[in-house]
Amino acid sequence: MTTLLGIELDGRRVVVAGGGPVAARRVRSMRLAGADVLVVAPQLCEELAELAEDRVIRWRCGEVREGDLDGAWLVHTATGDRAVDAAVAAWSQERRTWCVAAGDVATGTARTPTTTQTGEVLVGVVSTGAADPVRSRTVRDQLAEVLRSGGADLRARRGGSASTPAGRMGRVVLVGGGPGDVDLLTLRGRRALAEADVVVTDRLGPLGVLDELAAGVEVVHVGKTPGHHPVPQHEIERILVERAQRGQVVVRLKGGDPFVFGRGGEEVVACHEAGVPVEVVPGVSSAMSVPALAGIPLTHRGITTSFHVLSGHEGLTPAARQVLHDGATLVVLMGVSMLPAMVAEALADGVDPALPVAIVENGSTPRQRVTRAPLAEVVARAEAVGVRAPAVIVLGRVAAEGLLDRAADPDG
């Protein structure tokens, strides 16, 4: 019966008999594991020759001899000559040294699995009967997809619980969750959640993914609403740092992208100042994705070639007013409460009252709704239909209703 065994090769001697492409592939993985590799062959392929020249591996030029196996922890034979491979396997067995025989796995005493790695988890697949590399690779690829998509619980465990050893520093991962639909969360973001001990989340973004977390993952809600910040930013940063210092993997799940009005930069700085490792996983920004989901192109040939993103808390800045005068697209995030003031400023500055405006509420969710009106009428229209945050506001000719239908009709 064949079993899988993880072998620590770092600093240990491995002998590879053969100098061709098969041997090169095996040497590559052994070097990644830190093995001390001796290759025995009359000639080397180009890749192995370069490694030998750079003294990354050792090479003895000639046919393999029994004495070459002295001190070896593992032997891999790939000479292409079945008789030679069988002899090397026999010498290994006499020495009680594990041997992988590339030409005939039944001759050796070990098999090399086809592997896939996600984070610190390495998964290997081998056949227990006759060698079947195609089946092994197929199964490996299917498992790799599950791991990449966050479909497995990847938390570190010690002593039967999800935790890290005392004294070991954890880390923080800032994950951009996209506009709200779980399907718009990136694979890398899902994988980070699969590794998380703690998830610190906003009220926006893909909250549905929280239902997919493994049992025991702690969820800390720190979401803000307009005018109400129950957990101030400095407290959020303290939570991230403190949990990582306990040795936990902390995912900061944000709506959109962490670096687009998400205060992600401030949280990265706080982690750096505390000596906490931090990683950023970009997300699909609401500034671009929500208009796209509503059929609004932020740029369109013959209409505009640029767009500007503004935080509604800033009001209509001089740069934003210039964008509207130049005919570019203006995208406003977190601007529902400031809409009347921004419209008044734009009209007072001479912006065309007929400029198309679109407001997209709850983008990417089943409750998505688009409200359109000319600039001079949009405030009244928004009040009439009861527009509420969260919403993305798009100002510019690209926001006109039926734009794409007209663009597709050469006579339109």
> Known catalytic residues?
202, 224
Tell me the DSSP string of 210-275: GGGSPTT-EEEE---BTTB-SS-HHHHHHHHHHHHHTT-EEEEEESB-TTSSS-HHHHHHHHHHTT
In angstroms, what CA-CA distances link 385 with 276, 354, 356, 361? 47, 20, 17, 11
Nearest C-alpha neighbor of 356 from the set 335, 342, 374: 374
Amino acid at 404: L
Report, in angstroms and rounded to the nearest whole number, the Rg of the chain calculated over CA atoms: 30
DSSP 14: E
How many other CB atoms sit within 10 Å of the CB of residue 167? 6
Tell how far CA 276 is from the center of its chain.
20
Could you tell me the two tokens for 64? 């393999």
